[in-house]
Amino acid sequence: MMSKRVPFAPSLPRLSRPPAAALVCLGLFLLCCLLVPRFATYGNLENVLRVGAILCIVACGQAIVIILGGIEFSFGASAALASVVTVMVLPAVGPVAGLVAGAASVIGIGLVNGWLVGRMVLPPVIVTLGTLMMASGAASWLVGGLPLDAPPSAVFSWPARGRVLGVPVPILAAVLACTVLHVLLAHGRIGRLWYHVGANPLAARLAGLDAARITLLGYATAGAFCAVGAIILTSRVASGQPALAPNLPFETIAACAIGGLPLAGGRGHVLQVVFGVLIVAMLNNAVVLINLPVAWQLVLLGLAVLAAVGLQRDWAVLKRLAGRSR
Amino acid sequence: MSFSDEALVATGIAKTYGATCALRDARLTLRRGRVHALLGENGAGKSTLVKILVGAVTPDAGRVEIGGAAASLGSVPQAIRAGIVPIHQHLSLFPELSVHENLSAFALADGGLWARRRLVDAARAKAWLADVGLAVDLAAPLGSLSLGERQLVEVARALSLDCRVLVLDEPTAALNAGEAERLFTVVRRLCAAGTAALFISHRFDEIEALADDISVLRDGRTVIDAAPVGRHSRYELTHAMLGAGVEAAVPRPAHRAEPVLVGRGFGGARDGGTSITVHAGEIVGLAGLIGSGALELAAWLAGAASGAGALTIAGEPIEPGNRARAAALGIAYVPADRHAEGLFAALSARRNVSVAALGGLARFGWLRRAAEAERVDPLLRRLKLHPALPDGEATTFSGGNQQKLLIGRCLALPGLKAMVLLEPTRGVDVAARAVIHDAIRDAAASGVAVLVATSDLDELMVLAHRYLIVREGALAAELPRAAPRTVLLSALSGSLAA
């Protein structure tokens, strides 16, 4: 047979090839510097990073779920529930324990999602949509539908407004989150197992892996990332808000998709998340700076997602065609 | 035969999927008024040929003539319009709709998106049902009918078209004997009226009862072309399907040792079920034609499928279906369907192999990559992975090299005691096959118990120390290594030796 020749396999590990999103990110940055007034100022860039930080932390969690071949819709609602829980228990237990209680509720929802997807083998879209509605309803019910203000406290506002060595805490937290995610994915045994389950859940089971437990741990870890984001969000708004971040899950999915994580699962690198988040944050910032209505953020984001996913698909199609014609 | 007798003539059909060649040079001639049985083992190209005839797959080469004129079967609707009507193994009917609506499906499909939902004339629908010998209410929901009756509704629907060729792809797989006989009566009647039928089945009894001609496919080629039923014995047909022996290396004798893999009572209550024991150091060949249940039995033994019975691995009882526990006890497994059940396509070759051994390669949850490479790379070298790029993604390798990764995964399993291999070299080129066979023999020589379940007789004869023959979901015979091919073939087909 002529087709005996095996196609060329990349000998470089995935890490050493920069993700395509990096180029897009750089291009967008230069474009914004040139065209958007007041973009390239220290204050604005810090603001971009500060706003992007929360998105980045939660997107790290979303990335785990996407690598597992799933999707997480419940992040926004669970962050809202966390803010409500925090502010409600705050007078009794103090700011630190309050934030921990809020965080625990997010991780709890992650565990429920992981159990339903892993052990009960239910589709992630339905499971996380269900917990989204339940968490959102519960948060609304707990405070009677209205935001509940937290008493002012220096400790309570530190996660959102504090600085360490002059660097805002959210940015530090985002860097830490990316580092943790990278260590988990590239060096952790559990991270490796997430890739296996995401790439082929049936093969993972037949190879002797406990796919249900691996999935459960994945959703719980994703919940932990979201919990950190929820703490910073709650601290920033200093109140319990049942409608805190309704777009959070969509923005994180968008960031992952724009960064180049295939939603089919089994692949993904932390740098893809980082660049995806930076692109989303810069887009949002540029919309504000050029005085477009804020609603345009969502429109642009949607366009960017479609473009990113469309381009990835086209690349795959082109590559396959090139392989066939050989 | 006169020219007009030929309802469909396909010649020189070839089809390649990626690196695997499904059809090389297939021929098929269907004559009006005759039932033509098509036989072939898994991977012989039978399903590809059927898909080409019904328009679901476009061939790379070859020519199809219908009624003497060249036909292009670009899509299923096009093939149906040309008069080739498929009756599928998995019914293509709508259980929630009425019998009448189901019979009207083709008419509705032709109507376009905005056409009014118009049913075919009730009198005509009744006439079709009468033709297939069904007396059911047109308004009854299809779901209320038995499987056999539904199959007949599907045949009745074919009558709504100018049906020249009826393609019956394992139509009896889900039917009982009475229902099957009823279907055969209808098929015979349709053929008497001039229709040609292509009949796919693995059951010799049915083929002998229904078919007029037989063709056999092997390795994508037609090896028996339209022989009248009765010209070849069952034994000869089986032989044609499985191929003549080529390589005949004598396996090393097994030093029988302690039992490693013991399964009792598989398949439930009937005669207490099937029991099997595989000892350390031996290669047991589990042989059976498709549908015999050999693969299911092997999967069950590896803990990959649940089901009645008791499994013991090296003296430890385990619950059937608990694959994780079986792997922890040292039972490696290669599933039959490489892509769906075995390969992690998105991951690198090395990661595909190391997956089963990660426990021993991590310290406090931290994977030691150097240790991983140290453990996996020598295996890949031994299996002659080509190209020798352990970091290459699994999808970029050929089928044979992908299969080497699954074998490598077995060999990398810590505390390996037994390997259960399903069709270990299906769709694999000769070179990779030899490497895989060597690896299996070496593993057995080092004391690993090996069970190879395959429908490939050549493979069994160069590997196995003894043969277990499976028919109809149960062990039918045990044969020694010295058993000649003829005896094996007749044991497989369930007939007396020729």
B3-242 carries CATH number 3.40.50.300? yes
Segments in chain A below pLDDT 70: 1-18, 314-326
Task: Report how many helices (DSSP H) and strands (DSSP E) chain A contains, helices first.
Answer: 13, 4
DSSP sequence for B329-397: TTEEEE-S-IIIII--TTSBHHHHHHGGGHHHHEETTEE-HHHHHHHHHHHHHHTT-SS--TTSBGGGS
Identify the CATH number of the domain defined by range B259-493.
Answer: 3.40.50.300
Contact B355 A202 (CB under 8 A): no
Tell me, what's the pLDDT at A177?
A: 98
How confident is the model at residue B24, as a pLDDT?
Answer: 87
Assess if residue A68 is contained within a domain.
Answer: yes
Select the residue of B16, B355, B392 nearest A10 (Cβ to Cβ).
B392
Q: Which residues contact A219 (CB under 8 A, 6 or more apart)?
A: A64, A65, A68, A70, A72, A110, A111, A113, A114, A117, A118
pLDDT value of residue B116: 61
Q: At what angle do helices B177-192 and B147-159 cross, to 10 degrees?
A: 10
How does pLDDT run along chain B (498 residues), one tens digit per residue?
444 688 899 999 998 876 667 888 899 999 999 999 998 876 678 888 888 888 888 888 888 888 888 887 778 878 888 888 888 766 678 888 888 888 888 776 666 666 566 778 888 888 888 888 888 888 888 888 887 888 888 888 887 777 889 998 888 777 777 778 888 988 898 888 888 999 988 778 888 889 999 999 888 888 888 888 888 888 788 888 876 544 445 455 555 578 999 998 887 655 667 889 999 989 999 998 877 889 999 999 999 998 888 999 989 999 999 999 999 999 999 999 999 999 999 999 999 999 989 988 988 899 999 999 999 999 999 999 988 899 999 988 888 899 999 999 999 999 999 999 999 988 777 778 888 999 999 999 888 999 999 888 888 888 998 999 998 888 888 998 888 888 888 888 886 443
Q: Say what the pLDDT of residue B245 is.
A: 46
From chain B, pick out residues whose CB is under 8 angstroms from the CB of A203: 335, 340-344
A172's tokens: 């530090």
Peptide bond into B387 cis (omega under 30): yes
- Contact across the interface for A7 and B396, Cβ inside 8 Å: yes
pLDDT of residue A325: 47
The pair of structure tokens assigned to A148 is 């509940």
B193 interface with A at CB cutoff 8 Å: no
Give B283's strand partners.
B450
CB B206 within 8 A of CB B193: no
Q: What does the pLDDT read at residue A13?
A: 39
Q: How far apart are CA A222 and CA A118, in angstroms?
A: 14
Total domains, chain A: 1
Q: Which domain holds residue A275?
A: 48-280
| Ranges of each domain in chain B | 3-242, 259-493
Query: What is the chain A residue with the closest CA to B385?
Result: A6
CB A231 within 8 Å of CB A159: yes
Spell out which residues of chain A touch residue B398, defining contact as CB-CB under 8 Å. Answer: 4, 6
Contact B358 A206 (CB under 8 A): no
Same fold, B3-242 and B259-493: yes
> For residue A321, which residues of chain B lie inside 8 Å, CB to CB?
none
Point out the residue among B367, B398, B409 whose CB comes nearest to the CB of A192: B367
How many angstroms separate the CA atoms of B468 and B471, rounded? 10
Q: Give pLDDT, residue B481.
A: 85
**Which 406-425 residues of chain B touch chain A by CB within 8 A?**
409, 413
ipTM of the complex: 0.88
What was the pLDDT predicted at A318? 60
List the single best residue of B391, B397, B401, B417 to mutate versus A (max A Cβ within 10 A): B391
* CB-based contacts of A131, cutoff 8 Å, min separation 6: A74, A77, A78, A109, A112, A113
pLDDT value of residue A46: 93
Which sign does the torsion angle of CA A222, A223, A228, A234 carry?
positive
What number of H helices and E strands is found in chain B? 18, 22
Both tokens of residue B231?
């010209």
| Ramachandran area for residue A147 (φ above 0: left; ψ -120 to 50: alpha; else beta) | beta
- A153 in a structural domain: yes
Set of chain B residues whose Cβ sits within 8 Å of the Cβ of A6? 386-387, 396-398, 401
Chain A nearest-CA residue for B332:
A207
- Rounded to 5°, angle at Cα A286 from A281 and A291: 135
Gyration radius from chain B CA atoms: 25
Pairing status of strand B221-228 against strand B213-218? antiparallel
Q: Do A190 and B365 touch (CB under 8 A)?
A: yes
